[in-house]
Structure 1
């Protein structure tokens, strides 16, 4: 039987003939085993919902291979839990909590090799295990997330919670963007049990699924934080934003466009706080130290900088497998009309006595004024891009003792405001900006009561009773309640087609929901036409009303729902439209990335310029690695670059135009010993021909391709 035959028999009847028995028995065209002897009923395993709580340390395995095994076992376990449609036991939650992602360099390089390359020697079995328990799409998402999947040490997390509790935090709505598996909510103090409503947003689907099993009572949103719709009533925003300098160019609010992804996370989280709400984040030291103060200025317009602690570069090594200088920062969102306070943290200063001939070390002015908040020594370190700043741990210093002491010096008089009466909680169904079931304005049912998403929160819809004048009419409420399953089924079919997943069963569900609605209220597009005759002129005028659609008009999906049926206005009848039987949208084709040059092409298409963080993310490699592999395909533009923000361009762009000037600028920058590789040795200028190419052997090829840059 062809797909067409199957779909015709499946969706052949309409609301007009009333024959819906098809949908309550077996579907024609489906294979079904002959009925056999009945087996004794098996009681399903019922495990109550319990949020995981970490009292001490997770007990992470020693060695990167052991960490990889724990990650893979967690992935297998979450698949089992989903297949069995049950909650995790407390023992299983402990196992899930040991998922640390693949951000550590050893894991990323060993388990996510480049295209057509083998796994690193000794890692073949682990690589095969990872392939066996994940789809290609899941592995691609994990590879992309290796750029960001660096988890915060428990010592730091517990110290941050102690800071909150010492300043009177008693619960409320808590936001963590880029939550990973939710280490911050796992480490919540026992006194806060049942007193916080946690919203965790995580882009990697696998990691979000694990977090959802760890905290079934909390709102884990599997989506991109950049596209997430947020309420502005959070009491606390806390976390560790992704360490990426990728520029955010397409997001709301508009005034944050152009910030690095890392800074954008921080600024957007502060924006979501209520007045006097607190933000507590572990961030890269570059947010405070970089010369470009735009991010700091934007944050300062909305929030008061309370203080910070700078940690040694070695702090993240054991958990994240990386040496990076991080700051723990705290902000308080100002009340409306409150004037900004101390502006010291907006500027940067040189550290005296650190000029080794290439300029002095430069740090945030607040850090320079509060040396006691730096848990180490300022110094130079050799990096892939040359010499750079680092913070070296003091000999014999125990971070478990030094960190709480330093945190205690920050805003000791600060007190959290009283807990708000309402909290930001998970609605009945997942809410996502793209592809989810609910959005701003969406109706949904919870506990048999009609709700609507308003301001990012689910609110009960008032329904008139008796002589009441507030709320919507009861009949309108019944129409909305019957329309909700139609909307959900419509979105489910469209989403499955968009994601190239099976959708025939979803079309059957759509047909059932549509039939249920039309039997009660007629066609979705039911139209009433009223003709009026002007008493003076005798002219006729028509007025049309669509009572079913008008009742549902506040829902953002009203028009997609209205389009699913073929409506005949003359007979006021309808029949199923193409969505009930056919594919109406094609899944977008994912770009195939087999090399770093493919990744560069995708980056140029999406961003319109060379963005090494995007290329690195697509390849699942470091920026240093993709820079080296791209070779002379890209060049650093010294005149537009700074130490904080290098600007790369394609070779086509760089080797054209005023190339004499560019060569002079490159030589001048090289003489200043810039920290970025300039590839100066590969540039050759031909004065007689007025051209500059990447190397001499490509001279003739450049001429043939009109690649020559003429100088005027």
Structure 2
């Protein structure tokens, strides 16, 4: 604050929390400002210090209780019962636009504003209202900026108090004639004095026309104030007329002696002219962050002031149609700004931080320092030059970058998250329709999209009326498939806290990473790229992958300069060895991903680790947040597959609170760092690759030794074992300084070793399309499947599509030099001849296996067995067999698929069943059983051969005692879903019993169908605790009901532990206390050693 005294700066520093707070002084200021909230902030602070916080004890000359009730009845659309609720509802709309304020600060604004109004209108006692508020304001450790709080609160208080006063001026309250003393006027020494009874209230100086109000004037009812104002105006009008008459009679020489006031008026007129040139009448201006139309600029005829009148017809803003009195053009320029110029500035000056732009919008928030203001003025001048002749297409698109302060960036409550998500989706849909790129303000809203992780239990529950309106809104914005995808993603997609992301980037910077090709294969909206340091961004190419179409669309709007693929990670044809860095947060899930480039499907976390390491160049890094199963799994652990060419640099086991703030879920995860090293010495022993060990505290659990130990610095919390799935390891968060803990743990993670490899492959595989293969086969043939077109057989595996061939193998023996010595004795002459005619080299073979040791006995002693896998041409009969089995596979799969739908067509089912019987009978008559070795050898590489073989039941022929096969029941009736018999029942309990006896479990859709005219909600209400929510499914984000018998059986102790957790978390969605009581009633007694015989 320019020219501020040391005392003022010290007081403001106390309000900002940068120096210790003086409880007594802060308490005084709270009381003082409540009597002066309509003063300018600077004047308020300075007068408080000058008067040492003196509080005037003003007599209660009038009661406003009835007037406020009348005002609320006439003005409130929300049926507010008191001034506090009116203030809260009125202020919410404006406060929602102030991203600079935390939620706590916004609540404090409403508390202070209510207290101010209560003080002004005497509708609550100070003791009743002040004490708890004083506690909040004076908190020593609460991180709030009270400068912002007071300025916004005073603005809000002033706005509402003016509304109340205006209302009271227009109403004829019966109370006004009671209790109020009469106003009378006296003239004394050229002044006009206004008295209430014997107490002086205001004085008019008839020479200068200035009015001085006594302290008690502010407490007068508006009718009394109006009486004083009207009388003073009459006096001034008569005085002005007298002056004009006198001037007309005075000689010209007397006019030359102008008064100081006349000079002042002349100067004001010049200011008015200059202001009108800068701000034409009718132009749009921004005042306190709101847009107004300029109605007038004129000489106020008062103390050299210029009067400005603004207009806005919105009733939800803090400032509605304000009238301003200002001293100079400089003051006007500081208060008002051109709306159009601001808009163009935001489009052109993209380097300005969004935070500073936001603060500029609200002049009642903390003022910028003078250097920043001067800098902004220079920028405005530069921008004016740039605006001339610029076209919209010349404005470069910018990638979104997180602001420095993210404390209150994201929505916090579930409702705030849902409303923000819907607003972001609505915006991105509109941007797609308009075919344009989001501007910085729109990008900020899109960046607050947090997905649906952790919201499934409340939001996507169709039976929960709490968010019914929001669900309908979302459904109207997206397609059915998009809605379904969002619902599923609520169980797997949890967005990463930018605090953690920034720690990862800082670690990479500290270790010397400068930039390159960077990939985020599960990018969400792009948080990792929104937090990337500028020094790395400037030297990098960014690539991202996102499976969800809506999230991917948002990511493209936030990061238009990033190469983004909206599909599955496994579907993008990235080239191995093409990236310098892969970093991501892998989606949560317990499912496998099949990639044609690998010979087996991997669990999703394992797949991301393996595929990411394949994609980085030699020396490249992979940094991921992954499930602890990646490290701890005892079997099928991907670590054993990557250890030969990968260095584990280190990791941090994060607590279950790491995703709580943004994603709203508790889950234990690992932050892992790997480096690819093709020349790694296989003899190197690394603890992390040595295999999982039993957790010493609970032998049901396995743990990677890297994260073992009670005092492990890389484990940020305390281990506990929950009774999920027989025992699940969890890290309980116990620290309040997670950011610091992560930073310290990352110091123990090794830096990557220098590997000289500047050569990288192209990013994408240049796939050559074989046009000799029909497009239907290229596009539709599944991995590990046979297909055909005419007499041409095709098979797809990880190497591509083969034509009219089969995988065959042949074995022979070679010496130490690899030279051929003898054929395997089991081979026929025909097979040997066919192989020799192929003239196949080792490079052309599909695969080769050679025994590590030579045979130790027999005629092949001293020789090594070599087996060659190769493509062998199909005979005509082979082609006919494969075609027949492909037809049977397709028919049987269609038969299974049709049975998955509860209301499938019986006619269509019978048609398919008849076709299956005909095709099978024809095939067996020509080629034998499906399980015959010749057919099995031809077709067992097809992924669906086992399904096909299940069509036959094996039996022993009573005569020949040989194994034979016969048709299974699949040729006779529906097996996937029993035939549905629709019945009608008369009670919800009968509907439940029918559903259970039919093997459906608690199938509410089915129950509604047999209990007509009853909704699911009505059935649930009628059943009461005959069905209960499965607590374990609930924790996974699913709402699954169990019958009471099912609920009270099984692993009771596990269920008790889960329900206790929900009770401790104060989950209010369901009566978990009642569920806990039911479980406790059947808790099994503890068995002691003495009880065991």
TM range (shorter): 0.5 to 0.7
Instruction: Identify which of 197, 200, 223 aligns with 2:567.
Output: 223
The answer to whether the aligner puts 1:90 opposite 2:417 as a matched pair is: no
The answer to whether the aligner puts 1:214 opposite 2:562 as a matched pair is: no
- Residue by residue over 1:234-261, the C-alpha shift from the partner in whole angstroms, topping out at 9 and shown as x without a partner, is 000100111112123x313224x23211
Q: What is the rounded CA distance, in whole Å, between the counterparts of 1:625 and 1:68 in structure 2?
A: 16
Instruction: Identify which of 642, 653, 660 aligns with 1:299.
Output: 642
Q: Which residue of 1 aligns with 2:417?
A: 67
SS in 2 for 1:82: helix
SS in 2 for 1:72: helix
Q: What is the rounded CA distance, in whole Å, between the counterparts of 1:376 and 1:327 in structure 2?
A: 12
Instruction: Identify which of 572, 592, 598 aligns with 1:247.
Output: 592
Report the Cα offset of residue 351 of structure 1: 3.6
Instruction: Identify which of 212, 235, 238 aligns with 2:580.
Output: 235
Q: What is the rounded CA distance, in whole Å, between the counterparts of 2:720 and 2:680 in structure 1?
A: 41
Alignment of 1:36-185 (within 5 A): 47-56=395-404, 58=406, 59-104=409-454, 107-113=455-461, 117-118=462-463, 120-185=464-529
CA contact (8 A) 2:656 2:731 kept: yes
Higher mean C-alpha deviation, range 53-62 or range 233-242: 53-62
SS in 1 for 2:482: helix
Instruction: Identify which of 647, 654, 658 aligns with 1:311.
Output: 654
Q: What is the rounded CA distance, in whole Å, between the counterparts of 2:418 and 2:542 in structure 1?
A: 28
CA contact (8 A) 1:276 1:334 kept: yes
Instruction: Identify which of 719, 722, 739 aligns with 1:381.
Output: 722
SS in 2 for 1:236: strand
Point out the structure with max Rg over C-alpha. 2
CA contact (8 A) 2:523 2:546 kept: yes
Report the Cα offset of residue 175 of structure 1: 1.1
Q: Which residue of 2 aligns with 1:266?
A: 609
Q: In the superposition, relative to structure 1, how do residues 327 and 200 fare at CA in structure 2: closer, same or farther (>3 Å)? A: same
Query: Superposition RMSD on alpha carbons, in Å?
Result: 4.2
CA contact (8 A) 1:235 1:274 kept: yes
Q: What is the rounded CA distance, in whole Å, between the counterparts of 1:200 and 1:675 in structure 2?
A: 43
CA contact (8 A) 2:579 2:760 kept: no
Q: In the superposition, relative to structure 1, how do residues 417 and 332 fare at CA in structure 2: closer, same or farther (>3 Å)? A: same
Structure 2: runs of 5 or more not aligned: 1-389, 780-896, 905-942, 951-975, 977-1032, 1059-1093
CA contact (8 A) 1:172 1:195 kept: yes
Report the Cα offset of residue 312 of structure 1: 1.0
Q: What is the rounded CA distance, in whole Å, between the counterparts of 1:130 and 1:160 in structure 2?
A: 34
Alignment of 1:661-676 (within 5 A): none
Q: Which residue of 2 aligns with 1:328?
A: 671
Q: What is the rounded CA distance, in whole Å, between the counterparts of 2:616 and 2:645 in structure 1?
A: 10
CA contact (8 A) 2:457 2:1037 kept: no
SS in 2 for 1:389: strand
Q: What is the rounded CA distance, in whole Å, between the counterparts of 1:185 and 1:228 in structure 2?
A: 19
CA contact (8 A) 1:172 1:419 kept: no
Q: What is the rounded CA distance, in whole Å, between the counterparts of 1:253 and 1:628 in structure 2?
A: 37
Q: In the superposition, relative to structure 1, how do residues 673 and 187 fare at CA in structure 2: closer, same or farther (>3 Å)? A: closer
Higher helix share: 2
SS in 1 for 2:466: coil
Q: In the superposition, relative to structure 1, how do residues 201 and 218 fare at CA in structure 2: closer, same or farther (>3 Å)? A: same
Instruction: Identify which of 434, 440, 456 aligns with 2:767.
Output: 440
CA contact (8 A) 2:630 2:637 kept: no
Q: What is the rounded CA distance, in whole Å, between the counterparts of 1:63 and 1:176 in structure 2?
A: 28
Q: What is the rounded CA distance, in whole Å, between the counterparts of 1:177 and 1:412 in structure 2?
A: 23
Which has the bigger relative contact order, CA under 8 A and spacing at least 6? 1
Q: Normalising by the residue count of structure 2, what TM-score does the alignment of the two structures yield?
A: 0.35
CA contact (8 A) 1:172 1:423 kept: no
Q: Which residue of 1 aligns with 2:705?
A: 365
Report the Cα offset of residue 129 of structure 1: 1.5
Q: In the superposition, relative to structure 1, how do residues 207 and 413 fare at CA in structure 2: closer, same or farther (>3 Å)? A: closer
CA contact (8 A) 1:271 1:302 kept: no
Report the Cα offset of residue 440 of structure 1: 2.4
Q: In the superposition, relative to structure 1, how do residues 295 and 421 fare at CA in structure 2: closer, same or farther (>3 Å)? A: closer
CA contact (8 A) 1:48 1:87 kept: no
CA contact (8 A) 1:168 1:416 kept: no
Q: What is the rounded CA distance, in whole Å, between the counterparts of 1:606 and 1:402 in structure 2?
A: 53
Q: What is the rounded CA distance, in whole Å, between the counterparts of 1:607 and 1:212 in structure 2?
A: 43
Q: In the superposition, relative to structure 1, how do residues 591 and 274 fare at CA in structure 2: closer, same or farther (>3 Å)? A: farther
The answer to whether the aligner puts 1:290 opposite 2:633 as a matched pair is: yes
Q: Which residue of 2 aligns with 1:521?
A: none
SS in 2 for 1:254: coil
Higher mean C-alpha deviation, range 95-104 or range 284-293: 284-293
CA contact (8 A) 2:490 2:1037 kept: no
Q: What is the rounded CA distance, in whole Å, between the counterparts of 1:258 and 1:413 in structure 2?
A: 30
Structure 1: runs of 5 or more not aligned: 1-41, 426-430, 432-438, 444-490, 496-589, 598-603, 611-620, 635-665, 678-712
- Residue by residue over 1:482-521, the C-alpha shift from the partner in whole angstroms, topping out at 9 and shown as x without a partner, is xxxxxxxxx9xx99xxxxxxxxxxxxxxxxxxxxxxxxxx
Instruction: Identify which of 745, 751, 762 aligns with 1:406.
Output: 745
Report the Cα offset of residue 46 of structure 1: 6.1
Q: Normalising by the residue count of structure 1, what TM-score does the alignment of the two structures yield?
A: 0.52
Q: What is the rounded CA distance, in whole Å, between the counterparts of 2:570 and 2:643 in structure 1?
A: 21
Alignment of 1:453-464 (within 5 A): none
CA contact (8 A) 2:524 2:552 kept: yes
